[in-house]
Structure 1
């Protein structure tokens, strides 16, 4: 409830100021009427009821704009009070609006304007106090001056706190923008690399189609059965290439980047990858369960890259004497890939510019899969990837 009230007050500052002035004006109304009708011992100039009412309006109405134009409002209220002093009109309770305007200047303007407003208010207090009594009481003047200085200091503190909170909000917004920008840049770079790799996969499939089509053309008269086998191979390869091409739609590629036509890794090279990591000093156990299934080259590349990135993270962050396990489980409709280590896990320092997990999720999402990476409860870290396995004819399991 308080949060909604605060938000409403920020959206309607003028209404809030008007509501805040209502009790102040109502409380000071008897004082205004008495000053305008009943002479006092104070050597005053009688303005009459309507003149006193006009002075009261001049002291209060400008406060409705004190948030937008604090210096102007302070100048109007101070000049009105100074003119009142020059004419010898008895002070009103509404002359306290000078302190309100001074507080607004101190809480919303630069320090030099706050000092100037405080000095003007102090001078006005001294002038008013010197005329109210024939024998000024220095003790009463000092106590009033301390009260005014306390209000001025409260305004300075409010200004400092407001600027500090604004700086915190600005830094938080800037950090959030930078984080989102870094994530977008990482995603764009990873999509560019994926596009280059899928280019090789699709090019390979098209090359197979061309070779099979040429063979079918030569064998269609002499060996019709061999030609039919070639046409079936063309059909399967074409479906697979079409599926790869559909996944490439919408993937942004960086212009002017030279293409790399080296053969892409596949599942058959996982043993070499594991051996390479072992030679780097990390003991790795590699297990495959379930009957192996034929995966598209793009999926094989995704599995290879996920294993590579997970083991690389273990080498970088696992710490000494850590071990890793790579498990591949072929199910009926999906491939479960799990890379686990017993390293430092959540205690490992995070790299501020690391985007390996983002890249793994991008790769798996292109094939309808998912990647989950989190520290293990008893220590260590685990990366789990699930990839649907394509059925016959290139269709993928839901």
Structure 2
């Protein structure tokens, strides 16, 4: 029933009510009944925000007391206007409509009270008796004026509540959009981190194993392997620093890999013991930066998986088939004999599929005739491309 208010809000409402009552009471010399009505309306004014329902009930009680005591309308009755405003502004669904009904019923009651009171006073001879038609005209004039004032106050409260709700909805929408953007950024960084770390560690492990076996028979090969390990580790460390920096910024702090970097990737993978055959057909077209990054990361992840799970020494084949409307990418590697590789929900396959989808492409990964095949179609047009 009671709404939580800040201390300054409650203090303002109580102070305003006390001020209004204090200003009204000295005007003339109100009798006891009128003083009670004035104080009651001040109480309703004080309760209008902390408890709109209680304020409305209080206003009704003292309005009935006023009519029962045959008191004339008083300036204190203006407290009903902010009370009706509060029922629509702060009240729930039921209280809102109760406030509207109270506005209509209050206007009707006040109009009947004023016009019939004047008519019966004329019949009793205390004042000049008005004509019946005059009473009807006066009644409707009072009724329309009272409905306009009371319903307008209620309507203003409803408009204020609607505006406040719309503003809160906009704020929630902005917060939700920001949260989605942050989550997308985190997912992108997680994909890049997985690609960089998984690829680099696979190269380092392969080179370290090769160096260990070749150390006694071919020290030169061991030195070359250690050089590759050092270069790969330094490159991975630089990439990881960039990704960690992106956690503190909205935009990438360094250029992302592109198609021109695929040659260096092939050399790095080949130096790690996985021969890479590249077959490119068709006329290359200009791809947007996001699409180039998607192609690079898909090739990188597919070759890294081939190096980790493929048949040792069998190599991998990368096919790039350019068409006017799209680039068809296919990376295939032979699996060990009788091996079955599941396409699970890990970061690698899921990340490649999401990268292709983000630039409007398609992706598939499957086992075909003893080979594991990763295939992707990347649109050449940038109309559907989005930053990866």
TM tier, smaller? 0.5 to 0.7
Corresponding residue for 1:114?
Answer: 100
Unpaired runs of 5+ residues, structure 1, are 1-7, 37-46, 253-263, 284-304, 318-350, 360-398
Query: Retained in 2: the 8 A contact 1:70–1:105?
Result: yes
Task: Pick one of 169, 184, 197 that aligns with 1:186.
Answer: 184
Q: Which residue in 2 is equivalent to 1:267?
A: 261
1:22 to 19, 23, 27: 19
1:241-256 alignment, distance < 5 Å: 241-243=236-238
CA change 1:112–1:77 in 2 (3 A) is: closer
Could you report, residue by residue, the CA deviation over 1:270-322 in whole angstroms, capped at 9, with x for unpaired residues?
98797166943379xxxxxxxxxxxxxxxxxxxxx9xx9699687042xxxxx
Q: Does 1:281 align with 2:324?
A: yes
Over residues 235-290 of structure 1, what are the superposed CA-to-partner deviations in whole Å (9 max), with x where a residue is unaligned? Answer: 444444554566677999xxxxxxxxxxx97624598797166943379xxxxxxx
Within a 5 Å distance, the mapping from 1:358-369 to structure 2 comes to 359=388
1:138-177 alignment, distance < 5 Å: 138=135, 139-177=137-175
Question: Which residue is equivalent to 2:332?
Answer: none
Equivalent residues of 1:282, 1:315 under 8 A apart: yes
Residue in structure 2 matching 1:127, options 107, 110, 113:
113
**1:218 aligned counterpart, secondary structure:** coil
SS in 2 for 1:71: helix
**Is the Cα–Cα contact under 8 Å of residues 209 and 237 in structure 1 kept in the other structure?**
no
1-structure distance, mates of 2:56, 2:185: 54
Residue in structure 2 matching 1:80, options 44, 62, 72: 62
After superposition, residues 192-207 of structure 1 pair within 5 angstroms as 192-207=190-205
Separation of aligned partners in 1, 2:154 and 2:105: 14
CA distance in 2, matches of 1:69, 1:265: 67
- In the superposition, the TM-score normalised over structure 2's length comes to 0.52
Which sections of structure 2, spanning at least 5 residues, go unmatched? 90-94, 123-128, 248-257, 265-279, 288-321, 327-354, 362-377
What's the RMSD between the two structures over aligned residues?
A: 4.7
Distance 2:6 2:144 in 1: 31
Q: CA deviation at 1:64?
A: 0.4
Q: For 1:175-202, what per-residue CA distance to the aligned partner results, in whole angstroms no more than 9, with x for missing partners?
A: 2233223323422332343234224421
The question of whether the paired residues in 1 share the 8 Å contact of 2:193 and 2:243 is answered with yes
Distance 2:214 2:147 in 1: 99
Instruction: Give a deviation string over 1:71-117, Cα, whole Å, max 9, x none.
Output: 322322332232233244x3362452464266336634422441134
Equivalent-residue separation in structure 2 for 1:272 and 1:10 (angstroms): 75
- Tell me the SS of whatever aligns to 2:72: coil
Cα distance in structure 2, aligned partners of 1:24 and 1:10: 21
Alignment correspondent of 1:93: 74
Per the alignment, residue 334 of structure 2 pairs with none
Q: 1:273 to 1:141 in 2, by over 3 A?
A: farther
Q: How many residues align?
A: 264
- Report the equivalent of 1:63: 45
TM-score by length of 1: 0.51
- 2:207 corresponds in structure 1 to 209
Q: Name the CA distance, whole Å, in 1 between partners of 2:111 and 2:240.
A: 82
Other structure's SS at 2:196 match: helix
Indicate the SS of the match to 1:315: coil
